[in-house]
Each structure stands twice: as structure tokens, then as C-alpha cells.
Amino acid sequence: MDDLLRDFLTESNEGLSQLDRDIVELERQPDSTELINRIFRAIHTIKGTCGFLDLTRLERVAHATESVLVLVRERKLGVSRPVIDDVLAGVDAIKAILQVIETSGAEPPGTDAEAIARLEARLGGPTPAPEADASRGTIELFDTGEVIPVHAPPDVAPAAASGTSPAVPAEAAVPTASTGAAPSPAPKGESGDQRQGVADSSLRVNVVLLDKLMNLVGELVLGRNQLIQLTAGQEGSVFEAPVQHLNRVTTDLQEAVMKTRMQPVGAAWGKLPRLVRDLAAASGKQIELVMSGAETELDRQILQAIQDPLTHMVRNSADHGIEAPDVRVANGKGRAGTIHLNAFHEGGHVILEIRDDGAGINVDRVRQKAVERGLVKAEAAAALSEQQVLRFIFEPGFSTAAQVTNVSGRGVGMDVVRSNIERIGGAVELASRMGEGATVRIKIPLTLAIVSALVVTAGSQVFAIPQIGVVELVRVTEEQQGRVQEMHGTRFYRLRDTLLPLVDLAALLALNHATRTTEANIVVCQVGALRFGLVVDDVYDTQEIVVKPMGRLVKHVAVYSGCTILGDGRVIMILDPAGIAATAMPSGQSERTREAEAHAAASDSGERESVLLFDAGFAALQAVPLRQVARLEEFTSAQLEEADGRLLVQYRGALLPVIPANPAMDVRARDPRPVVVLGRDGQAMGLAVDEIRDIVEEHLKLEATARRPGVRGVGVIGGRATEVIDPRHFLAVAGHDLQEEQP
């Protein structure tokens, strides 16, 4: 059953449940204009939608019932008990047909001759057929009376002029209440008590109530965290088992409530096809919009926040990206350009991609414009990579358009897109190939109500950093102090091939802290295309925290995005990486950062990606692209359970299979055991390893083919021969169906 038919059944059953009460009440108040109009609108809505869905039998009954109600509304027919009986007979016939549609998904064959004859007798003869033509349906507009023809499928047989369908066996007819016959039997193997109607499977709930329920679940999560912390150091406590049960139930309840707030991302795409069509007509271009992943779900709060950025991205692709038909033909392309809009889950986040096959972005033109605007010096701009140059597009007022159109070209929009996405904890990336097109990749969290956060300390104060903004953690030992350099008054840390600007959290917040001389902890944060290192004193575990709004006295402080309550009852502040970047690295420092990047690394036109390195007891290190890693965990031997001949762990409300990366590995031999969680929700497994080594940025090129199961090939990473594993192999070993490509 498709969604359109399901929605029609839900709304029709809701209307009919009220209709029975209204009709009975009309018999007691025959002069009530409000009741008559309400009854008429309910039947009219059903009849109008029937024509659109090609439910011809249901439409004929509704049309005859509506015709009698028209006479009642115009006071040409009095409200009497016989008239009410005839209307109720029509309503019962409608209910019987809807019941069959619910169980079978299709309208049953047959006639409703008795109910229709009783209604037509009130009209003084047969009513005209509701169709404007034998092969076409109609929708009658209630306010104007205009009849709009709607084409029916070619395999639908024309209705007879009398408004009845061709003769069918008597047993195929749907009985009505007037005949006293029983409704259609339930499908084989399913009793009437077990069968659930479409209307019974859904419920309309006010959004305010859902928000209140979410807040209450948040308080329950805080209480659970407090109980877990109280019993953490008490082995053998009588409260241990009840607290574990409470933890599981709370996690399930939290996920269930969060699902009620989820909506498909396709709800934010409704106006985009019309937008692209209008832009194509105005510019003389031929543009096709291809959308996939519309069923991907997001919190409704985030869905509302991304509607405007999505609209601007698609508008930019249509106006700036797609070329005119003649230009495309001259460049060896088809006359029609294509904009692909895709949504999918990746590593606990939702990724939105807007990709076009247009002209791409002229990097040299962007570089030149950045120098003209004084965003970077000419010598520094020449050394910047293409990816670094593309960041200028997100600067306020930046535009390379030769002329201003009624759509774009004034340099307003891309900076707003970035700020709106970063405000909800997301990130925007831009990639382009000249002559081939451009891709905008937006990474956003699933929800903002309850998030995973990293708990850190700075200057004896505790803070939480949302994990979506954290790329990695770096421990700087005494031997690595030489990697910290100062350039143009800003401290940088040489992280692999890049210079990472450092922000000391304690110094930024003017907290009392001792000067670090030997070791430091750096939290690498990502804000859009910018990465910086947040220097903290200590790093603790990650926690699921409930985001609470800040009071009005501290709302203006940009470095905070909210507050939360820890398990021990302490209220701590949630840091905002975007606010920290704006406060600690104002526009005056942005040019110095770009110059440092330009002098630190040579221009690199090839694409690199983050790779996780780990040791699994083989002679060579193992590697896996970081985009295929959901989380890094450590599980104790007590958490590992054996069932069905494999190791399992209770993880985030489900059972997570744990597979050793090396068949010779004894998973329980190391306690706790490092585990790399691969895959996504519903298709995830834990890969047990010996040690997590590093995260590097590399050209992931396989130089040799694989000879061992589970290995894609061998490449050179960090100057060493490294085996690149195949996550699909281990997911298949864990028992997952891999018909769809893993992220």
C-alpha cells in the first residue's frame, strides 16, 4: 500500500468516526447549518479524493450520498428519520469499501445498488455519473464548483452510464449495513481481532506534547547517569542489576521518543523540483533534478534549520553550475544538466550531498578574487591548495560572478549557509573539478536534544564538547614539544602534513591554570573547513548528555552553546567549537592562518582522506578509511558474552557482534579490548584489534592486490606497507546482509 492511499484511509476513517456522531446529532438539531456543512464537507472530501485515486466504486457511493446532502443543505429536502437512514446507509457502504481496501490494498469489485437506489429515490431519479468522461476521473473544488478532469489508468474499464460497474458475482459485492450482512472476511491466516486497520495504526499528536515528552526523557537520562555513577565503584552491590536494567530501558525509551521526532528529509525537498523548473525556464537551461535518500530521517528541529541552506545550494547549482545547452554541447556534454541531491547516514551523522555536472568552480578565479579583496597575500595565495582556495567562497560577500542576476551573484548566501549549518553543529565541505561539476557535502547531527559529548577539564573546570565537532584527540608528549611552533603571534602544532592553530581553553576563558611545560592534550575540532586544536588539561570519557538552554545572562557568550548536568549533579557548560573559533581566531588571524598553511605544505591537487591505523598482530599495520568507522570503543571481558558460537556485547540498546581482526587473536586476552565499530545502524559490528595507532591523511592508493580474506589490498601509508582491510568482509562474517553498499 503506497503512502498516498494510506494517508487517504487514515483521514477518511477519522472523518467517518466524527460523521456518525454529526449525523445522529443532526437528527436532533435539523436546523443546524454548521452540522449540515460539516457532514457535507466530510463526504465531499472523500468523493473528491476518490476520483484522484481512481476508486470508482467508492466514488459512486460518495457521490450519491453527497447529492442528497446538497438538497439538505439547500433546504430542498427536509431532515427526517427516513432521510437520515438513507444517508447512514450510504456512509455504511463507504465504511465497508474502506475496510476491504485496508485489508487488501485495492478496491473490491461489485456494486452498491441498494444503497445507491435508496439515495437516488430521494433525488427523484438516477444521479448523473460523477465522471466527466468514461475514461477520466474528476475532482470538484468545493469553493468554486470547478470540475478538474484527471486521467485514469488505461486499464480501468469505463463505468456504465447508470453509475454502476459491470455485473460481478454476488459473492464479490461488499455488503452494506442495510442488508444486515457481515463484512468481508479477514485474509487467510489472520483473524478479525488480529487485523489492525490503517486508521488504528497511527495517531495525531501535538508537537508541543512531543517536545515535553522529550524533555522528560532527558531528565530521566540525567537520573540514570547519576545512578550509574553512584554504583560504578560498588562491585557486588544489590543495586547493580536494577541500575543495569534501568539503563537498558532508558536507552530504549530515549531512542523510541527520538524516533517520534524524526521526519524524512524528503519533507524539506518538496519545493525544490518547482524551484529548479522555474530557474531552468527563466535562464533557458535544461536541468533535471534527481533526488535519492528522501526516506533518511532527521530530527524535525534540524530539518527546519536546513531548508533554507538546501534551497540556496540547489539554486547556486542551477544558476552558477549548470551551463547553457549550447555550451554543454560544445563541451561534449548532453544538452540537459543534472543536479543530484542525496541523503544518507554515515558514522552516526546524516550526510547531504548536492552534486551537479556543470562547469565546476574556476579555482584560479577564486584565488585572484581573494587577493583582490585582501583576504590573503599574493605570494601566500599561490602556495595554497585547491581545497584551501575553495574556502574563500564561504567568506561574507565573496562572489566571482561576472554579472548580478535576479537569482545570485551578490556574494550573499554561502556564508549564511555555513553559519546556519554550523549553528546546528554541522559542517560544510566543497569540492570541484573544472569542467566536470561541483559537490557540496553537508554533515549534520541526527538530533540536538541528546548528544554524545567529550568531557574535558581546563583550569579546574569541567566542560563538554559535542562529539560531532571533534575529529581526533592528540597527546603531545615532552619529546613532541618541538612540533609546537609560533608564527605571526599564533601557536601552531605540526599535525602530519598541516599546521594546526592552537587555542588554549583555560587562557581563552581566563581561568586559573598552571603553565604547561611537558605534556598537553589537544582536541582537534572541525568547524566547516577550518580545523583547530583546543588545548585542555585532561580528557575523560564520552557521555550522552542532555542539552539544556542557557540563561539570559550568559546567552551572549559565544563560546557556549548550552549546559548540561553530569551524573554527580554538577552543572557544566557545553562548548561551541564555532563560537570558540570566531572568538579566538577573528578575521585578523585568518590571513595569518592561511599563510602558515601555505608555507607549511606544498600545493597538493590530489585528494586525500583520513585513514585509521591499527595493529592486529600481523607483520604489517592495518588500515581502514575513517569514513567507514562509526566509533572507537573499549570493552572489558565482563562485557563480552558468547552466544550462537560468537562473541556479542550489549551496545547502545542492541547486540553488537565482535569479530577479531586476526583469527589467531584471543579477544579476552586483553582487558579492556580496543574495538573499532564498523558499519551503520542495523548493520554494525565490532572489529577487535590490539592497538589503535594513529589517524593520518593519505592518498589511499592500493599498490598490490590482496591474498588474504578481509584485505582489499596493500598500500603505502606513512612510508610503510600497510594492509587496507575490507569492512564488507567482516560485516558479512558478522551475519549482515550486504546487498547495499556500505558507507
pLDDT in tens, 542-561: 877 777 767 666 767 778 87
Distances (CA, A) of 374 to 400, 437, 588, 589, 591: 15, 27, 11, 13, 9
* ∠ CA 326-332-336, rounded to 5°: 55
For 246-296, strand residue ranges (E) read 262-264, 286-292
Higher confidence at residue 398 or residue 191? 398
Strand partners, 444: 350
pLDDT of residue 74: 85
Mean pLDDT over residues 675-703, rounded? 83
Task: Report the range of poorest mean pLDDT among 192-196, 413-417, 492-496, 579-583.
Answer: 192-196
**Can you give the pLDDT at residue 561?**
79
- % of the chain surpassing 90 pLDDT: 8
Asked whether the beta carbons of 548 and 562 are under 8 A apart, the reply is yes
Whether 240 shows a pLDDT value over 90: the answer reads no
**Model pLDDT for residues 260-311, shown as the tens digit of each residue:** 878 888 877 878 888 888 888 888 899 998 988 888 888 877 888 888 888 8
The answer, yes or no, to whether residue 192 has pLDDT greater than 50, is: no
Res 161: pLDDT: 33
* pLDDT given for residue 3 in this prediction: 66
Asked if 576 and 560 count as a contact pair (C-beta separation under 8 A), the reply is yes
Is the predicted pLDDT of residue 42 greater than 80, yes or no? yes
pLDDT at site 255:
78
Domains of the chain: 3-201 (1.20.120.160), 207-260 (1.10.287), 264-445 (3.30.565.10), 450-600 (2.40.50.180), 609-733 (2.40.50.180)
pLDDT at 661: 92
What does pLDDT average to over the chain?
A: 76
Q: Is the pLDDT of residue 184 over 80?
A: no
Distance CA 107, CA 168 (A): 14
For residue 690, is pLDDT > 90? yes
| Average of per-residue pLDDT across 413-420 | 76
Q: How many CA atoms does the CB half-sphere of 177 hold within 13 Å? A: 12
pLDDT in tens, 508-532: 888 876 555 567 889 998 876 678 8
Q: Is 125 helix (H, G, I), strand (E, B) or coil?
A: coil
pLDDT band at 181 (very low <50, low <70, confident <90, very high): very low
Instruction: Check residue 370 and give its pLDDT.
Output: 84
